[in-house]
């Protein structure tokens, strides 16, 4: 098969063909899928997309897929929501939310990366697939593995949110709980991939996996009318997504599908796990790993594998990175729900909180087009905000009881005044 | 101080296939030096041109990343395990 793509070292540029490996054995740096853009330019036209369904597979030529690829199920194709109220609240005009809280099948952007990883898993002959996960990725692996007939075995920190564990268990996946934080799980998985012939989507299939993230960026550009935004605010855990959105934009420019323009990339982290934002703010050459302590569990990666690339991108694009505290995350989750009708998980709270901060700091101009990436659904992290909504006292099923309730409600603000 | 260095598969072509290398060292830096003295071809894979441990190579002392232990100058005790693990996973 003459693939139009192959693995290439991000540092020394050595090529490695296509195989389940994620780092260069010459210099130990990460591998990435590189494409033959000259050939792509001759064979793919933007107009071809018109007849395709609106999901991530409409960009299949930009993904590492076999020629005979048939989409297993619809993934992606999520709304780009033009802000109705929140942008105005911030004094900004052109704010959009890319809403992967409603990504199928498992309600986070991780469905996109798992989709391309499982294509690679099939190609390389793996029967068992798995991952190290902070929750969302495990959900996505478990759901799509059962759809496609793989055995799934996922590794998670033992203290993960119950909803995220349940949302994996329900698909019948084997769950291995590890006494340790995500970085411990991650290290173990690197060793497991070294020992066992399993397709670990974010370890030995990582280059193929991360290409799926590009579709988040392709959709943003297409939904803006084949234009690039001025600013993108992206949550950062391992630091991969922000780089892949940038890669997606570069590819669209290379193929002449959008006009070239400078896009500033802004990274968002929780203060309790902020190795990347801390490095950007302090001007460090290398990030310093951290022990995560935040309610934003899906971003709780203290030793981000793609951190160096995220820092470089943010600096070179003229962007910035910020972080928000746990109370700020909770407030931002509520704010997004109350203004836009979007219920996001803690990672989305980080993105919204940081966007608010960046606009407040003047780092994001209120007149520019800004896209904030909402990457997961609020139903997965209800524990984080449950205390905000104590149950109201129940009333009797009688009209007079309801009238008394209304009177009490109406009287309450007056009493406070 | 006798300690053991665990070698990832990708490095074993430089260690004659050995998955573990025993050496004597009082710090992680000394252990890495002992390893690369014995297998000189490994040097450029472990350290970059400026002599720093490569950015995408994580080094652990038993269960802990050495960056939490003060870096490669952290001291070793008898029977310690030094692990070399590529920084590849995430998210």
Q: Where are the domains of chain A?
A: 80-106+213-383, 110-210
The chain A residue lying nearest B45, using CA atoms, is: A27
Of A30, A202, A204, Cβ closest to residue B91: A202
Contacts of A23 in chain B (CB under 8 A): 10, 56, 86, 88
The pairing of beta strand A5-9 with beta strand A128-132: unpaired
Q: Do B90 and A291 touch (CB under 8 A)?
A: no
Of A29, A239, A303, Cβ closest to residue B58: A303
Chain A residues 253-272 with CB within 8 Å of chain B: none
DSSP A393: P
Residues in Cβ contact with A283 at an 8 Å cutoff, skipping those fewer than 6 apart: none
Output the six-digit token pair for A133: 């996960």
| Residue B81 near chain A (CB below 8 Å) | no
| Residue B87 near chain A (CB below 8 Å) | yes
Between CA B14 and CA B40 the distance in angstroms is 8
Residue A361's pLDDT is what? 97
Q: Where are the domains of chain B?
A: 2-86
Overall CATH class of domain A110-210:
alpha beta
ipTM here: 0.90
Q: Do B65 and A289 touch (CB under 8 A)?
A: yes
Strands (E), chain B: 2-6, 20-24, 57-61, 64-65, 81-86
Between CA A381 and CA A383 the distance in angstroms is 5
Between CA A140 and CA A105 the distance in angstroms is 7
Q: What distances in angstroms separate CA A208 from CA A120, A211, B85, one per listed residue?
A: 7, 5, 21
Residue B9's pLDDT is what? 86
Residues in chain A: 417
Min distance B1 CA to chain A CA atoms (Å): 26
Residue A417's pLDDT is what? 47
Q: Do A239 and B9 touch (CB under 8 A)?
A: no
The b/e string for A130-142 (b: 16+ C-beta within 10 A; e otherwise) is bbbbbbbbbbbbb
Residue A390 CB: number of other CB atoms within 10 A? 7
Between CA A61 and CA A84 the distance in angstroms is 34
Per-residue confidence in pLDDT tens, chain A, 417 aa: 468 999 999 999 999 999 999 988 888 889 999 999 999 999 999 999 999 999 999 999 999 999 889 998 999 999 999 999 999 999 999 999 999 999 999 999 999 999 999 999 999 999 999 999 989 999 999 999 999 999 999 999 998 888 889 999 999 999 999 999 888 898 899 889 888 889 999 999 999 999 999 999 999 999 999 999 999 999 999 999 999 999 999 999 999 999 999 999 999 999 999 999 999 999 998 999 999 999 999 999 999 999 999 999 999 999 999 999 999 999 999 999 999 999 999 999 999 999 999 999 999 999 999 999 999 999 999 999 999 999 988 999 999 999 999 999 988 765 554
The chain A residue lying nearest B71, using CA atoms, is: A288
**Each residue's pLDDT tens digit, A71-96:** 989 999 999 999 999 999 999 999 99
The helix or strand, by DSSP H or E, that contains position A222, with its residue range, turns out to be helix A214-223
The b/e string for A194-223 (b: 16+ C-beta within 10 A; e otherwise) is beeebbbbbbbbbbbbbbbbbbbbbbbbbb
Domain A80-106+213-383 matches domain A110-210 at the CATH topology level: yes
Of A11, A180, A203, Cβ closest to residue B89: A203
The three-state secondary structure class of A31 is strand
User: Cα A351 to chain center, whole Å?
Assistant: 11
Total beta-carbon pairs less than 8 A apart between chain A and chain B: 87
Question: What torsion, rounded to 10 degrees, do the Cα atoms A181, A29, A151, A176 define?
Answer: -10
Please list the alpha-helical segments (H only) found in A60-161. Answer: 86-89, 110-123, 136-148
The chain A residue lying nearest B10, using CA atoms, is: A25
Contacts of A134 in chain B (CB under 8 A): 91
Contacts of A186 in chain B (CB under 8 A): 89-90
Residue A291's pLDDT is what? 94
Between CA A36 and CA B35 the distance in angstroms is 40
| Residue B70 near chain A (CB below 8 Å) | no
The pairing of beta strand A231-235 with beta strand A321-324: unpaired
Burial class (CB in 10 A: 0-12, 13-18, 19+), A353: buried
User: Cα A27 to chain center, whole Å?
Assistant: 28
Between CA B67 and CA B80 the distance in angstroms is 16
**Each residue's pLDDT tens digit, B25-80:** 999 999 999 999 999 999 988 998 899 999 889 999 998 999 999 999 999 999 99
Alpha-carbon radius of gyration of chain A:
22
The helix or strand, by DSSP H or E, that contains position A129, with its residue range, turns out to be strand A128-132
Burial class (CB in 10 A: 0-12, 13-18, 19+), A191: middle
The chain A residue lying nearest B87, using CA atoms, is: A305
With contact defined as beta carbons under 8 Å apart, do A335 and A352 qualify? Answer: yes
Chain A residues 330-369 with CB within 8 Å of chain B: none
Report the CATH architecture of A80-106+213-383.
3-Layer(aba) Sandwich (3.40)
Q: Do A305 and B63 touch (CB under 8 A)?
A: no
Of A180, A206, A286, Cβ closest to residue B88: A206
What is the CATH topology of the domain spanning B2-86? Answer: Ubiquitin-like (UB roll) (3.10.20)
The chain A residue lying nearest B64, using CA atoms, is: A184
Residue B10's pLDDT is what? 84
Nearest partner of A245 among A85, A344, A371, judged by Cα:
A371
CA atoms within 13 A on the CB side of A124: 23
Residues in Cβ contact with A302 at an 8 Å cutoff, skipping those fewer than 6 apart: A181, A182, A183, A273, A275, A289, A290, A291, A292
Between CA A329 and CA A346 the distance in angstroms is 6
Residue A1's pLDDT is what? 43
């Amino acid at each position: 098969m003459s693939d139009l793509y192959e693995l290439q070292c991000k540092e020394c540029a050595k090529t490695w063909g296509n195989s389940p490996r994620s780092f260069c054995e010459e210099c130990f740096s990460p591998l990435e899928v590189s494409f033959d853009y000259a050939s792509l330019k001759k064979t793919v036209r933007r107009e071809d997309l018109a007849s395709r369904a609106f999901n991530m597979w409409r960009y299949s030529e930009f993904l590492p897929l076999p020629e005979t690829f048939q989409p297993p199920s619809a993934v992606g194709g999520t709304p780009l929501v033009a802000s109705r109220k929140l942008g105005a609240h911030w004094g900004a005009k052109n704010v959009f939310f890319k809403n992967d809280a409603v990504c199928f099948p498992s309600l986070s952007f991780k469905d996109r990366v798992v989709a391309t990883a499982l294509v690679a898993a099939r190609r390389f002959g793996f029967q068992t697939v798995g991952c190290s996960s902070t929750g969302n990725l495990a959900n996505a692996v478990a759901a799509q593995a059962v759809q496609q007939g793989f055995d799934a075995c996922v590794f998670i920190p033992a203290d993960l949110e119950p909803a995220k564990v349940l949302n994996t268990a329900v698909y019948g996946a084997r769950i291995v709980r590890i006494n340790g934080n995500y970085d411990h799980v991650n290290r173990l998985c690197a060793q497991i991939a070294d020992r066992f012939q399993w397709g670990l989507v974010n370890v030995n299939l990582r280059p193929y996996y991360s290409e799926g993230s590009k579709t988040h960026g392709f959709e943003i550009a297409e939904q803006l009318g084949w234009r690039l935004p001025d600013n993108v605010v992206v949550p950062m855990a391992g630091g991969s997504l922000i780089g892949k959105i940038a890669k997606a934009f570069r590819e669209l420019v290379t193929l002449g599908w959008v006009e070239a323009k400078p896009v500033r990339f802004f990274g968002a982290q929780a203060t309790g796990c902020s190795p990347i934002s801390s490095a950007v703010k302090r001007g460090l050459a290398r990030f310093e790993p951290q022990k995560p302590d935040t309610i934003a569990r899906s971003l709780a990666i203290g030793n981000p594998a793609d951190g160096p690339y995220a820092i470089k991108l943010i600096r070179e694009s003229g962007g910035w990175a910020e972080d928000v505290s746990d109370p700020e995350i909770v407030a931002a989750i509520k704010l997004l729900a109350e203004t836009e009708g979007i219920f996001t998980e803690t990672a989305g709270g980080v993105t919204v909180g940081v966007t608010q901060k960046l606009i407040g700091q003047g780092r994001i101009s209120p007149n520019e087009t800004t896209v904030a990436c909402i990457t997961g659904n609020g139903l997965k992290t209800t524990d984080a905000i449950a205390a905000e909504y104590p149950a109201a006292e129940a009333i009797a099923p009688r009209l007079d009881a309801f009238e008394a309730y209304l009177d009490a409600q109406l009287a309450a603000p007056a009493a406070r005044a | 101080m006798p300690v053991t260095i665990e070698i990832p598969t990708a490095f074993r072509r430089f260690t004659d296939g050995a998955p573990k290398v025993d050496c004597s060292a009082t710090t992680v830096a000394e252990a890495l030096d002992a390893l690369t003295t014995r297998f000189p071809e490994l040097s450029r894979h472990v350290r970059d041109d400026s002599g720093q441990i490569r950015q995408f190579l994580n080094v652990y002392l038993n269960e802990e990343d050495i960056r939490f232990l003060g870096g490669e100058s952290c001291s070793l005790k008898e029977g310690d395990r030094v692990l070399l693990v590529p920084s590849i996973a995430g998210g």
